[in-house]
Structure 1
Amino acid sequence: MSIEKPAALVTGGSRGIGAAIVQKLLARGIPVVILDREAPAEQTDARFVRCDLTDLAATKAALAEIAATNAILWLVNNAGIAAPASLEETTIEDFDKVVAINLRACILSAQAALPAMKAAGKGRIVTISSRAALGKELRTAYSATKAGVIGLTRTWALELAPHGITVNAIGPGPIETELFKSANPHNSPRTQAIIRGVPVQRLGQPEDIAHAADFFLSDGASFVTGQVLYVCGGMTVGVAPI
């Protein structure tokens, strides 16, 4: 394993929050590999590797190829899907798909990155959770997996701290991505109700999450690990435990 070509790996980095994080990393001069099902929506200097993260064999192969050509010293587990449904309407097929992307891919990506991180004696892992981890209606699969991400974060933080590797999570509130806007038109009563429920009275932007990730991924965050930062405009105040 060579560490001569260090790079960051961002899953789901082609659009939305992931794309904003990719730009932050590139701005710091860090080479980036995007692992995503779809190509980046905009021109980027990042390397793109196409992969459907629900396909176990394809995911393992893609990660092995990336790890063989780059030392992954920064990992952002951003890829995720929601499959919103009530408990009665949640299917096991949908649940398994959400688990594959929101949890299994995190584990596989971290396992692929660890050899280089351990060899370098340092590393940064950031995983995107959600305020839905605290509970949200119509989100059986999503809230379960996003809460699971927090469990992974805390466990890995303890296991990997002796190797100089930090592990942290970010819990976004409602973020105005293209996916969000397609499901929540700006002038719809539902969207306006969401905005009224945010103490700062606006939706978050992908860059808001990217700023938080940029801190966790920096050298200056070496004494911060096992933490969950809710970037939610104040929505979790009074809900998240101290």
Structure 2
Amino acid sequence: MPLFIGTSGWQYKDWRGVLYPADLPVRLWLEEYAARFATVEVNNAFYRLPTRENFEAWRDRVPSDFVVAVKASRYLTHVKRLRDPGEPVDRLMTHAAGLGARLGPVLLQLPPTLRADPALLDACLACFPPSARIAVEPRHDSWWIPEVREVLRSRGAALCWADVRARPVTPLWRTADWGYVRFHEGRAQPWPRYGRQSLETWAERIAHTWPEGADVYAYFNNDPGGAAVEDAMTFGRAARREGRRVTRLPERVEQT
């Protein structure tokens, strides 16, 4: 399978003239995005879970090979803080099922104040359907312990490899036969771009960790100024040099 490369969201005003032609109506941006990328992470589902009808509408607007990753609602991760997960997980998955075969991984980004609790995480992961791919992005250093790694491994969940300012902020654990990587902010100019060397290093890490044929999902969350779009293109070229097959990417950016 290819390395899936996309961005965290697609509807940013400052992407007009970068990813989207200046005269393209906003209502057609998803179709344009899906013609140039093969995957997206729905980041705004964290703030407000879309209805099943919303997910169904997106499903019908993108090609059959398009993959949608969904960031779990903050109600589960930040309000409930993983406690009593049954109802929030069921609601999340019932809504996201509207994507049908286009549904990809679900991301659980944990609050930075939530300390490690392997049993709590295990109970939450147990509520997801066995076929679901769940990536977990802890943000408190207490999570980097063997007990957490074993919970992820036993549940087939991927530790989300996260980058902030061109360095890993998570251990580079491989806990599943698939992977998930998020790029939050680079150190190059113009901000928040990533430098070529940084992206080449990440491409090498992925190539050396997962065998050819493993699914790895990589999303750029540094959206200001279209940085995510340009960095995704650069990262894709670096991955190809490492011998990886990658999903479609824009061949160029628009000129304003």
Q: Bin the TM-score by the shorter chain.
A: 0.3 to 0.5
Q: TM-score, normalised by structure 2?
A: 0.32
Task: Compute the TM-score of the two structures, normalised by the length of structure 1.
Answer: 0.34
Q: Which has the higher contact order (CA 8 A, sep 6+)?
A: 2
**Comparing both structures, which one devotes a greater share of its residues to helix?**
1
